[in-house]
Amino acid sequence: METVWDLFRRRGYSRREFLSFVSVTASLLALPANLLMSFGRALELREKPVVIWLEFQDCAGCSESFIRSTSVMPSDVLLDFISLEYHETLMVPSGIYAEQAKEDAIKKYRGRYILIVEGALTPAEDGVYCTVGGKANHHLLREAIDGAKWIVAVGSCACWGGIPAAYPNPTGAVPISDLVEGKTVVHLPGCPPIGDVLVATLVHLIAFERLPELDSMGRPKVFYGQTIHDRCYRRSFYSAGKFASGLDDDGARKGYCLYKVGCKGPITRNACATIRWNGGLSFPIQSGHPCFGCSEPNFWDRGFIYKPLSAMPDGFGPKGMLGALAVGTLVGAGVAYMNKKQAKKGGK
């Protein structure tokens, strides 16, 4: 079978371009410099990964995000980079031919394929709300789990139930991990997740043949280990107690912190503030909109997109978070007050 390096050569890319792909991916994965050589060597030798991508109750936004991943590699190579044996949105065959192709791939690549699942399961009324080829979604997932080498849940719907699970959840939507036993599910939440996060996670699985380091919720720590707030470029305004009070007021125009207009960055774990979107161009906060926490469980039902965390009635996030945030805001305001006093003193 074709290796990753063979693929680059076949597509007319030079050795230099392959090495640039290796180093960009290694930096996304925050690999230490001493692993760079072995990482590149592994990618040179490893076979292209076989991927079976199932879609359940979703909007296909995660697939869109994946094929628009631009900072890791050109999108034409991206779709060649994996042997995508089944993806109902992207594959050419349809109907019984598509389903047959999937069943063949599950048999042929047993124990070797990466199973990517997008969308929530809908087990209510025996899965009648989401069927493909006459089979309910949870039966389809069960058929694919056993032979999978790795399982990746892509997007907040597959990871947590997402928007389909929002109140009153008429289809009984649940995360895919509800059906997986004895295997780890890698969670890449986001609505949608950043495409480069999925590509880099796949590259990690291929190169090292092991899972990346995960947190207690199954998310790769390298992408979800910190909150948006931890890495936000507006953080100095937060610490200085300078906040926008509306989306178009003077504070917003000056680029102040968006906490008071509902930013959920302090309790949202994602890589938007570092990897950013659209080839690293920008991310919502940089475009003037508060983060609404799309990668966190139940983000939709928590509502209050434009209300600050301190106004959430049931506490947003882990217990004690609001208290900690209130203290954080007070500290920020306190620091600002002290700074002003110092500045006045200095001016005297």
Q: Which residues bind ligand SF4 (CB under 6 A)?
A: 190, 228-229, 232, 234-235, 238, 257-259, 263, 265-266, 268, 270, 272, 283-285, 291-295
Q: For residue 65, give the 3-state DSSP assignment.
A: helix
Residue 130 annotated as binding site: no
Q: How far is the CB of 330 from ligand SF4 (least distance, A)?
A: 14
Rank residues 18 and 237 by Cβ distance to ligand SF4 and give the closer one. 237
Rank residues 149 and 235 by Cβ distance to ligand SF4 and give the closer one. 235
Q: How far is the CB of 13 from ligand SF4 (least distance, A)?
A: 30
| Rounded (to 5) percent helix, strand, coil in the chain | 45, 15, 40
The residue type found at 324 is A
Q: How far is the CB of 220 from ligand SF4 (least distance, A)?
A: 15
Q: 56 near 13, Cβ under 8 Å?
A: no
Rank residues 18 and 160 by Cβ distance to ligand SF4 and give the closer one. 160
The residue type found at 156 is S
| Residue 170, number of CB atoms within 10 A of its CB | 12
Q: How far is the CB of 268 from ligand SF4 (least distance, A)?
A: 5
Distance from C-alpha of 158 to C-alpha of 172, rounded to nearest angstrom: 13
Q: Which residue is nearest to ligand SF4 (CB)?
A: 265
Residue 232 annotated as binding site: yes
Residue 159 annotated as binding site: no
Rank residues 177 and 274 by Cβ distance to ligand SF4 and give the closer one. 274
Rank residues 113 and 256 by Cβ distance to ligand SF4 and give the closer one. 256
Strand partners, 120: 57
Output the CA angle 335-339-343, nearest 5 degrees.
Answer: 175
Residue 157 annotated as binding site: yes
Rank residues 199 and 228 by Cβ distance to ligand SF4 and give the closer one. 228
Distance from C-alpha of 335 to C-alpha of 276, rounded to nearest angstrom: 29
The residue type found at 113 is Y
Residue 263 annotated as binding site: yes
Q: 28 near 196, Cβ under 8 Å?
A: yes
Rank residues 22 and 199 by Cβ distance to ligand SF4 and give the closer one. 199
DSSP of 140-175, one letter per residue? HHHHHHTTEEEEEEESHHHHH-TGGGSTT-TT--B-
CA distances from 156 to 99, 188, 192, 285, 347 (A): 26, 8, 7, 20, 51
Residue 291 annotated as binding site: yes
Residue 272 annotated as binding site: yes
Distance from C-alpha of 89 to C-alpha of 119, rounded to nearest angstrom: 13
Q: How far is the CB of 295 from ligand SF4 (least distance, A)?
A: 5
- Binding-site annotation, residues for [3Fe-4S] cluster: 272, 291, 294
The annotated binding site for [4Fe-4S] cluster is made up of 59, 62, 157, 191, 229, 232, 257, 263
Q: Which residues are annotated as a binding site?
A: 59, 62, 157, 191, 229, 232, 257, 263, 272, 291, 294
